[in-house]
Amino acid sequence: MCGIIGYIGKRQIIPVLLEGLRRLEYRGYDSAGIVFLEKNKIKVIKTKGRIFNLEEKIFKKPPLEAKAPGLGHTRWATHGEPSDENAHPHMDCKEELSLVHNGIIENYYELKQKLLKKGHRFCSATDTEVIVHLVEDYLNEGLNIKEAFFRTLKDLKGSFAIALIYKKHPEFILVARNQSPVVLGVGEEENFVASDIPALLPFTKKVVFLNDGEVAILYKDKIEVYDSKKNKIEKEPVLISWDLASAEKGGYAHFMLKEICEQPEAIKHTLLGRINLDNKEIDFSKEGLVKEFLEDVQKVFIVACGTSYHAGLVAKYLIERHLEIPVEVDLASEFRYRNPLINSKTLFIGVSQSGETADTLASLRLAKEKGAKILSICNVLGSTIARESGVVLYTQAGPEISVASTKAFTTQVLVFILLAFYLKKMLYGKDEDKEKVDALIKISNQLDNFIEKIRPKIKEISEKWHNISNCLYLGRNILFPIALEGALKLKEIAYIHAEGYAAGEMKHGPIALIEENVPSIILAAKETGIVYEKTLSNAEEVKSRRGPIISIISENSEEFKKISYDYIEVPLTFYEFLPIFYVVPLQLLAYEIAALRGCDIDKPRNLAKSVTVE
Ligand code: M6R
């Protein structure tokens, strides 16, 4: 969702802001803008559309003397349509203050009415604009800028990451956070603020994370942080291990393709340090996952959204197969508004690539309040979900820039596989998975070869099928969540209506959709035993209604090959690893089809990478 970049220091301000904004593009946006100082005046340039539209506007009439501090923003519309007026930054009536915001101000309407009565003039339909007028209002009352800022924050209800500059105090940028991500970048005689780490990587790897309720004042040579009661607090910067190259396309046409191909590497990194290569033992104890944390757990809730939710569904099969603990998997947006039965013997597992998804975070807080133990599986170091968890297991996938999640999913599944084996040993002393752990160590190379092998065939299949309007994805057991994930990928990046179904459910309704131009992508693995045979019967039922079948199947599944229009063969593996191998062809298929349809693959319409509002 919205992206923020801010800078104070000696660099040329416009290139820094544009570079930062480009690196936030993946979050999803529909307008963009910047603000800086020009001849001691606030200068805002903003536009509906993409960053190149903003660049065009800037360079049509290049500013003569652009100076820091400055702010940049990419807006994902919530209140008010995407337009030049609604784009951020926003200014006060006197054009002395300028502000960017990520989040939603829930009480904006009543605040706006009050401000209008006092004579403030609004230029946009946004909730954001009330913030800058409120600050102005408190300045009018005689407060100094810092007091006015703190006072304004008290009036706001909702979620926000805010950065504000004031022309009378160009020596600092004011920053505040409540339920929307914000990270500060620490440099030499320069400092930054951004909504996400990739925007900072070209400039610094030293970062400071703000917690909810905290305020930061960024000077060029220091950063002051205050808690909500205005007490000054000390924050130690953290060093980010991601490098700049990992946030760049590196010769690939799209981030999504790069990230699909990076999966073997991401798997390697996620395994690193967690498996003892001599005795094949898995160890999460250094990350805080010790017996005392889990001993009396009687129930597990896994809660997430989108692709991370699908990883959670996979985990249910893994955990219930290896541990005698019941597992419920919930969509975070549902979980948070029902009455889940939680107590101190509940383990809540939040799964999130970004670690900032609003619904997942709210669910985590709800579970915490009810006394559950909180474990999270996150990709982004220092993200809110990670920080609010009792234990966090990081997927070491590196930055995932494409809106469509790929390597985050495979590494989430991998962490769940490790977790199931680890807990089995820890809780029941059962040490029977060494052969599988050994195979896990080799899985990265196997996956690499598999990707290379299937790419031409996937391209061929995509050429034939990219014009379809509807598609079914069918799987059973541990491959059912993969069917859901395949359908989600096709929907979100190729804009094709796709439904994921448990193949056994076909007879209960969806089989009515089968026709000659509605392909069914059927997933079947011999490793699932009897379920493989059952899936074959479901496939026959599709075939006998003239539904074309594209199958993703175990090697030498002759029965399937006979009834399939096209097929991809997957090498035989262990049951637990099936999701990792079966999801990759579906990711590639969605990618190739979207490319042939000319879709904006890395930034699909209407979507945002990090969904920080509910
Ligand atoms: O950052 P999170 O894993 O919490 O994000 C959850 C979903 O928003 C995300 O997986 C989304 O569904 C992706 N666009 C799917 O590709």
CATH number reported for the structural domain that contains residue 124 in this entry: 3.60.20.10
> Residue 376 — pLDDT band, cuts 50, 70, 90?
very high
Residue 124 within a domain: yes
Q: Which of 195, 214, 246 is the last residue of a domain?
A: 246
- Co-location of 159 and 282 in the same domain: no
Give ligand 1 pocket residues (Cβ under 6 A): 305-308, 352-354, 357, 360, 403-405, 488, 492, 610-611
- Co-location of 174 and 62 in the same domain: yes
pLDDT exceeding 70 applies to what percent of the chain?
100
Q: What are phi and psi of 607, to 5 degrees?
A: -105, 155
Per-residue pLDDT at 248 exceeds 90: no
Say which amino acid occupies 32.
Answer: A
| Least confident window among 285-294, 370-379, 564-573 | 285-294
Atom number, ligand 1, closest to the C-alpha of residue 357? 4
- Co-location of 160 and 78 in the same domain: yes
Q: Which pLDDT belongs to residue 213?
A: 94
Q: How many structural domains is the chain composed of?
A: 3
Q: How far apart are CA 294 and CA 598, in angstroms?
A: 49
Per-residue pLDDT at 246 exceeds 80: no
Choosing from 26, 259, 389, 405 the residue with most ligand 1 atoms within 8 A of its CB, the one to mutate for a pocket test is 405
Sheet containing strand 173-178, edge to edge, reads 90-91, 97-105, 158-166, 173-178, 215-218, 223-226, 232-233
Cβ proximity of 197 and 71 under 8 Å: no
Atom 9, ligand 1: residue with shortest CA distance: 306
Lookup: tokens for 276: 């003892």
- Mind spelling out the 3-state secondary structure of 47-94? EECCHHHHHHHHHHCCCCCEEEEEEEEEECCCCCCCCCCCCCCEECCC
- Co-location of 204 and 284 in the same domain: no
For 519-573, give the DSSP string.
-EEEEE-GGGTHHHHHHHHHHHHHHTTT--EEEEEETT-HHHHHH-SEEEEE---
Atom number, ligand 1, closest to the C-alpha of residue 611? 8
Q: How many CB atoms lie within 10 A of CB 1?
A: 26
Choosing from 333, 357, 410 the residue with most ligand 1 atoms within 8 A of its CB, the one to mutate for a pocket test is 357
Q: How far apart are CA 386 and CA 375, in angstroms?
A: 9
Q: Which of 225, 246, 267 is the last residue of a domain?
A: 246
> Residue 352 — pLDDT band, cuts 50, 70, 90?
very high
Residue 454 within a domain: no
CA 248 to centroid of ligand 1, rounded, Å? 20
Q: How far apart are CA 218 and CA 146, in angstroms?
A: 12
Per-residue pLDDT at 210 exceeds 80: yes
Lookup: tokens for 52: 């190149």
pLDDT digits (tens, 9 = 90+) for 173-186: 999 999 888 999 99
CA 308 to centroid of ligand 1, rounded, Å? 6
- Co-location of 193 and 307 in the same domain: no
Alpha-helical regions (H) of 272-401: 291-294, 306-322, 332-335, 358-369, 384-387
Q: Which pLDDT belongs to residue 612?
A: 81
Q: How far apart are CA 205 and CA 504, in angstroms?
A: 50
Q: How far apart are CA 159 and CA 101, in angstroms?
A: 10
Strands 158-166 and 66-75: unpaired
Atom 4, ligand 1: residue with shortest CA distance: 352
Secondary structure (3-state) at 255: helix
CA 126 to centroid of ligand 1, rounded, Å? 26
Q: Which of 214, 246, 278 is the last residue of a domain?
A: 246
Q: Which pLDDT belongs to residue 78?
A: 82
Q: Which pLDDT belongs to residue 389?
A: 96
Residue 609 within a domain: no
- Co-location of 513 and 411 in the same domain: no
> For residue 168, which of 63, 45, 65, 37 has the smallest C-alpha distance?
37
Q: Is the pTM of this model over 0.85?
A: no
Residue 112 within a domain: yes
CA 427 to centroid of ligand 1, rounded, Å? 31
Cβ proximity of 564 and 549 under 8 Å: yes
Lookup: tokens for 283: 């160890």
> Residue 317 — pLDDT band, cuts 50, 70, 90?
very high
Q: Which pLDDT belongs to residue 483?
A: 98
Residue 230 appears among annotated catalytic residues: no
Q: Which pLDDT belongs to residue 228?
A: 87
Per-residue pLDDT at 294 exceeds 90: no
Residue 41 appears among annotated catalytic residues: no
Atom number, ligand 1, closest to the C-alpha of residue 304? 4
- Co-location of 310 and 322 in the same domain: yes
Residue 442 within a domain: no
Choosing from 314, 335, 354 the residue with most ligand 1 atoms within 8 A of its CB, the one to mutate for a pocket test is 354
pLDDT, mean over the chain: 94
| Least confident window among 177-181, 256-260, 394-398, 608-612 | 608-612
pLDDT digits (tens, 9 = 90+) for 528-563: 999 999 999 999 999 999 999 999 999 999 999 999
CA 611 to centroid of ligand 1, rounded, Å? 8
- Co-location of 52 and 95 in the same domain: yes
Mean pLDDT score, 386-405: 94
pLDDT digits (tens, 9 = 90+) for 60-101: 988 889 999 999 999 988 888 889 999 999 999 999 999 999
Dihedral class, residue 213 (left if φ above 0, else alpha if ψ from -120 to 50, else beta): left
Q: Which pLDDT belongs to residue 86?
A: 93
Mean pLDDT score, 278-295: 91
Q: How far apart are CA 301 and CA 313, in angstroms?
A: 11
Mean pLDDT score, 174-200: 94
CA 43 to centroid of ligand 1, rounded, Å? 36
Residue 369 within a domain: yes
Per-residue pLDDT at 309 exceeds 80: yes
pLDDT digits (tens, 9 = 90+) for 106-137: 999 999 999 999 999 999 999 999 999 999 99
2, 261, 378, 599: which is the annotated catalytic residue?
A: 2
pLDDT digits (tens, 9 = 90+) for 5-42: 999 999 999 999 999 999 998 887 889 999 999 998 99
For 144-169, give the DSSP string.
-HHHHHHHHHHH--EEEEEEEEETT-
Q: Which pLDDT belongs to residue 434?
A: 87
Atom number, ligand 1, closest to the C-alpha of residue 610? 1
- Co-location of 296 and 207 in the same domain: no
b (16+ CB within 10 A) / e for 284-302: beeeebeeebbeebebbbb
Atom number, ligand 1, closest to the C-alpha of residue 307? 10
- Co-location of 366 and 397 in the same domain: yes
- Co-location of 181 and 261 in the same domain: no
- Say which residue, 212 or 593, is predicted with more confidence: 593
Range of the domain at 583: 461-596
> For residue 387, which of 374, 396, 399, 400 has the smallest C-alpha distance?
374
Atom number, ligand 1, closest to the C-alpha of residue 408? 3
Per-residue pLDDT at 251 exceeds 80: yes
Secondary structure (3-state) at 607: coil
Lookup: tokens for 241: 């291990």
Atom 12, ligand 1: residue with shortest CA distance: 306
> Residue 205 — pLDDT band, cuts 50, 70, 90?
very high
CATH of the domain at 557: 3.40.50.10490
Choosing from 356, 394, 611, 612 the residue with most ligand 1 atoms within 8 A of its CB, the one to mutate for a pocket test is 611
Q: How far apart are CA 321 and CA 204, in angstroms?
A: 45
Q: How far apart are CA 245 and CA 72, in angstroms?
A: 23
Q: Which pLDDT belongs to residue 430?
A: 86
Mean pLDDT score, 484-511: 96
CA 382 to centroid of ligand 1, rounded, Å? 18
Q: How far apart are CA 310 and CA 351, in angstroms?
A: 10
| DSSP classification of residue 220 | S
Residue 611 within a domain: no
Mean pLDDT score, 213-230: 96
CA 492 to centroid of ligand 1, rounded, Å? 11
Q: Which pLDDT belongs to residue 386?
A: 94
Residue 234 within a domain: yes
- Co-location of 345 and 201 in the same domain: no
